[in-house]
């Protein structure tokens, strides 16, 4: 039986204003609040420093990006060090001129940078024009040792892909964090809203079950039109659906936020529970790794199968 003690995670569900500095102030305050409520590892939502700007393609918005280490990690590292908490911060990373990523920085409790995860799967849908801004990640799927336990993080669109969850879990992560910015197109909300949210929750609960790990999915809330210092997208915008949650290795939702309020969720990572679930559902034991080579193909058509 592992000797690791249990630890607690915190998810910060927040709204984002047109002022990036105000958003950073809010995020810093919420991390401090989560730590004082008992969280050992705190995760912020995707790209929390701004309203969701990918609703349009605008070269000027690359000015929102920052280096890592940079201003946001410097501010949050100080909070991590003061509160003795690990922080997962999703940022618009400027890696070099013309090279940008959607990146999660993992900050240790002493304020040091444990490492980066760069979002691997980049969407391109109406009002989610991320391929214009973000280069796909090149660091692979990763798990990070922290003072409290081993954690993995993926980002938003990654949440629909079981391969990313599996590879991260196979590296020993106890919990998979999914910082997210996902919402409804207002015209679709009445007809499809419930089904869309339930699909989002179900796929991530499935990752928890299939891998015997905890999942923490943290979203933003509020209606946004990508307003950055008064420069906004014309049109209906997006209703970010909140609904952040924590699922245990059995897929049970042990904490869940509302669809329209700022909240902090706290949940315990129970190492004994993980062990028990994996003993009774030994999915990792029964994997047929000798039979999975076809998964690296884009599609298995007749031509592929003949090779």
Q: Which residues are marked as active site?
A: 46, 119, 156
Q: Per the omega criterion (within 30 degrees of 0), is the bond before 24 cis?
A: no
In angstroms, the CA 17 to CA 226 distance is: 9
In angstroms, the CA 152 to CA 178 distance is: 9
Instruction: Give me the sheet containing 221-224, strands edge to edge.
Output: 183-184, 238-241, 221-224
> Distance between the two ends of the chain, CA-based, in angstroms?
45
Question: What SS3 string covers 59-107?
Answer: HHHHHHCECCCCHHHHHHHHHHHHHCCEEEEEEEEEEECCEEEEEEEEE
In angstroms, the CA 256 to CA 12 distance is: 12
Look at strands 238-241 and 221-224 and give their pairing: antiparallel
In angstroms, the CA 191 to CA 154 distance is: 29
State the DSSP string of 171-212.
TT-SEEEEE---EE-HHHHHHHHHHHHHHHHHHHHHHHHHHT
In angstroms, the CA 82 to CA 223 distance is: 33
């Amino acid at each position: 039986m592992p000797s690791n003690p249990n630890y607690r995670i915190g998810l910060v569900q927040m709204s984002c204003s047109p002022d990036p500095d105000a958003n950073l102030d809010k995020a810093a305050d919420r991390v401090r609040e989560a730590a004082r409520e008992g969280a050992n590892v705190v995760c912020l939502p995707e790209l929390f420093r701004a309203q969701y700007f990918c609703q349009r393609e605008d070269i000027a918005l690359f000015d929102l990006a920052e280096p890592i280490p940079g201003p946001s990690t410097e501010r949050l590292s100080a909070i991590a060090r003061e509160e003795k908490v690990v922080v997962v911060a999703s940022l618009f990373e400027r890696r070099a001129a013309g090279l940008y990523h959607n990146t999660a920085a993992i900050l240790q409790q002493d304020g040091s940078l444990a490492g980066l995860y760069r979002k691997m799967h980049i969407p391109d849908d109406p009002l989610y024009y991320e391929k214009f801004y973000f280069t796909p990640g090149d660091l692979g799927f990763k798990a990070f040792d922290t003072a409290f336990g081993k954690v993995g993080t993926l980002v938003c669109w990654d949440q629909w892909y079981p391969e990313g969850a599996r590879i991260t879990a196979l590296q020993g992560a106890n919990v998979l964090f999914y910082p997210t910015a996902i919402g409804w197109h207002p015209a679709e909300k009445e007809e499809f809203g419930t089904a869309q949210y339930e699909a989002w929750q179900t796929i991530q609960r499935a990752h928890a079950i299939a891998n015997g790990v905890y999942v923490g999915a943290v979203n933003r809330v509020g209606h946004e039109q990508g307003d950055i210092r008064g420069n906004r997208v014309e049109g209906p915008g997006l209703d970010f659906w909140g609904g952040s949650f924590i699922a245990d290795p059995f897929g049970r939702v042990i904490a869940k936020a509302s669809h329209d309020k700022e909240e902090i969720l706290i949940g315990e990572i129970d190492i004994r529970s993980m062990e028990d679930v994996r003993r009774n559902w030994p999915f990792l034991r029964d994997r047929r790794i000798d039979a999975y080579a076809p998964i690296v193909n884009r599609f298995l058509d007749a031509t592929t199968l003949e090779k």
